[in-house]
Structure 1
Amino acid sequence: MAVIQPPQTPQGCTNTSIEGTIKQAPLPNPDNKPYLMEKANYASRFPKLSFKKTKDGDVTGLELKQLVMSGLIRADEYRWDFLWDYKAEVCFDMASLPPKPFLSSTWFGEEEKPDPLRRHTLFPFPKGSVKGLLRRPDVIIVKNRSTRWPGQAGPDHQGIAHSNNLERLVEVKFPGDVLGMAQREAYLDIAGGSTRFSVLEISDCRDDGDRERDRQYNREHKPTGEFNPLQWPVLLPPRNPGVTPRPAPVPVPAYGPTPTSRPAHVESWTQQVQEAVDGLLEQGAQGIRKLSQEVQQHLEDAATWIGVKGEWVRRESQKAWEWVSETGAQVIRWTDEQLRAIWKEVQHFTDINLEMLRRVDWVQILIDMGVLAAEVVIVLAIGAAIGSAVVAVGIPAALVTGLMIILHLARVSWLLLASILSGVVINTAATAG
């Protein structure tokens, strides 16, 4: 008779959970590791998925773990107006020593002077960066959360001086990730020495039984159900008369070490990944119906034009775009002025420029900031022409529909849209389908 062996704890683990080991320098505060592990523990349970690139139809792999962890930290940054102890994926210019963080391009005042208190840029390829001389460490812990500057002492790219506010650079390594020599040397330069450089090495210590239970959670749309104390059902409005809506998966709240009254929520699409997903625009109305009820309300117009067969038509004489259904009925109308206004607001929150907009291959909503914060963290996959990257950016939920329309028009009528958003006048009439 065969002897059934109990599940074995993976080698090097002390229990069957997600564990973290700090290497290099110790973290500066006892609260740092619980905060980072809360994010890493959650992120570790998300699988790798593939998505279809809209430009050429190729399927590209995407590891959700690092993306989810960065998104959760970024959500905290948004909620605290970037006056927060932790900053995710700050871009550093390695052409100077010490390396300079790239700051937001937001300007203020009639003289357009740079704001010395502005945050770090969220654009993955900042203006002025040189290929091979740009680094984005996973986490920067700052000395003083009331100061947005995330670097060592020195001037920024506009010559404004800043005092040292970098307490620790933390590189997070999930299973399979390797810290290369060049990466390590660059991070030591950014941190200012080995005493301010830490590595958080994540070990997946789940046994086969734990992994199977987590896979079951994925199938049931709740891969991290043990983290979710809020288990009420959220009902979606029926799309067809006489159809009873099914309960939608409740977005999982993402807390810090101390629960807050305004937790961010990871949107339910990330809890339903299996082998492959298409972008939100490709999933259409079905993709929108997977989002939380609050975000759906902001996407009501988008659900209308995405869910109805038709085309965007350019009305050059009226300087407007109209979504016209296949029956000829006008559904939605956006003027050039409205598009420029939305684009200006999107740039203010994200630092996205026209070149980045043109290269967006894929878009998904990752985190709902909650009703009170009314902001959304969105994932953008940027094409290889300017260097492949997946970045999480955040905008107010009220801007999501406008951003989706801009992204769609960028695909079907790029030159005309670019001229509209940049204010350049061209003699072009276009119909976009």
Structure 2
Amino acid sequence: MAISNNGKMCPAVTSITCTMEIGVFPADEDPCYLARKAEYALRLPAMIITKLGAIRFLNQVIMSGLIKVEELKHDFLWPYKAEVVFAIREEQDVPLPMLAASQVSKQRYGDNLPQSSNPFARPSAEDAEKFGVVGIRRPDIILVKDEALRWPGRNATYFDGSVHPDNLKMLIEVKFPG
């Protein structure tokens, strides 16, 4: 996991080594938050074997699930967002996070929609063509600047024409051993 906490120790976390590969973990954030989630994920079964014999590693699923529970508990007003689906556009364009699209979500959250809970969310074919979507990416964790804004992306105009400010503080990829 990529974290640097300036020598501060995380109490009760004894089995996690955190290294920052690119950038610096924000000084105003708690690096132990992610270390605790990673430690919990490491203590549970590391993998399963499916009926077809495929091996599936669970550490990332567990860590993301723990963060998603906190997101739900805080009505998506949480600084850490796990497994946000992004529509990747042409090189000069900013990736767009896929937002909740149901009528229930739109009524409940209005203009401050959370990210889609669908891990396979995609823009419509029409929007994909219009906005130059060339791929989909789902980073492990997004850390936002302002948790009062559910938008987990950079300054951009969304598919529906709504304009959003830059709220992306850091994109974090977590690597587990094995």
Q: Same fold (TM over 0.5)?
A: yes
Gaps of 5+ in 2: 1-13
Give, as a single letter, the amino acid of the residue that structure 1 aligns with 2:40. Answer: Y
Residue 35 of structure 2 corresponds to: 37
User: CA separation in 2, counterparts of 1:50 and 1:30?
Assistant: 40
User: CA separation in 1, counterparts of 2:154 and 2:134?
Assistant: 21
Aligned residues between the structures = 153
Residue 141 of structure 1 corresponds to: 143
RMSD of equivalent CA atoms: 2.4
Residue 48 of structure 1 corresponds to: 47
Residue 98 of structure 2 corresponds to: 102
User: Does the CA contact (< 8 Å) of 1:86 and 1:139 recur in 2?
Assistant: yes
Q: CA deviation at 1:62?
A: 1.3
Does residue 1:60 correspond to 2:54, yes or no? yes
- With normalisation by structure 2, the TM-score equals 0.78
By percentage of residues, which structure has more strand? 1
Give, as a single letter, the amino acid of the residue that structure 2 aligns with 1:75. Answer: V
In structure 2, relative to structure 1, the CA distance for the partners of 1:108 and 1:70 (3 Å cut) is closer
> Which structure: larger Rg?
1
Does residue 1:85 correspond to 2:79, yes or no? yes
Alignment of 1:354-373 (within 5 A): none
SS at match of 1:169: strand
Measured against aligned partners, the alpha-carbon deviations of 1:224-279 in whole angstroms (never above 9, x if no partner) come to: xxxxxxxxxxxxxxxxxxxxxxxxxxxxxxxxxxxxxxxxxxxxxxxxxxxxxxxx
Q: CA deviation at 1:108?
A: 5.9
Q: CA deviation at 1:132?
A: 6.4
Q: CA deviation at 1:33?
A: 1.3
User: CA separation in 1, counterparts of 2:41 and 2:166?
Assistant: 31
Q: CA deviation at 1:30?
A: 4.9
Does residue 1:120 correspond to 2:115, yes or no? yes
In structure 2, relative to structure 1, the CA distance for the partners of 1:175 and 1:134 (3 Å cut) is same
Q: CA deviation at 1:174?
A: 1.1
- Identical pairs, percent: 39
Q: Which structure's relative contact order is higher, taking Cα pairs within 8 Å and 6+ residues apart?
A: 2
User: Does the CA contact (< 8 Å) of 2:87 and 2:137 recur in 1?
Assistant: yes
Residue 412 of structure 1 corresponds to: none
Q: CA deviation at 1:37?
A: 0.4
Q: CA deviation at 1:157?
A: 1.4
Does residue 1:19 correspond to 2:17, yes or no? yes
User: CA separation in 2, counterparts of 1:105 and 1:17?
Assistant: 40
User: CA separation in 1, counterparts of 2:144 and 2:29?
Assistant: 13
Give, as a single letter, the amino acid of the residue that structure 2 aligns with 1:78. Answer: L
Q: 2:166 aligns with which of 155, 158, 164?
A: 164
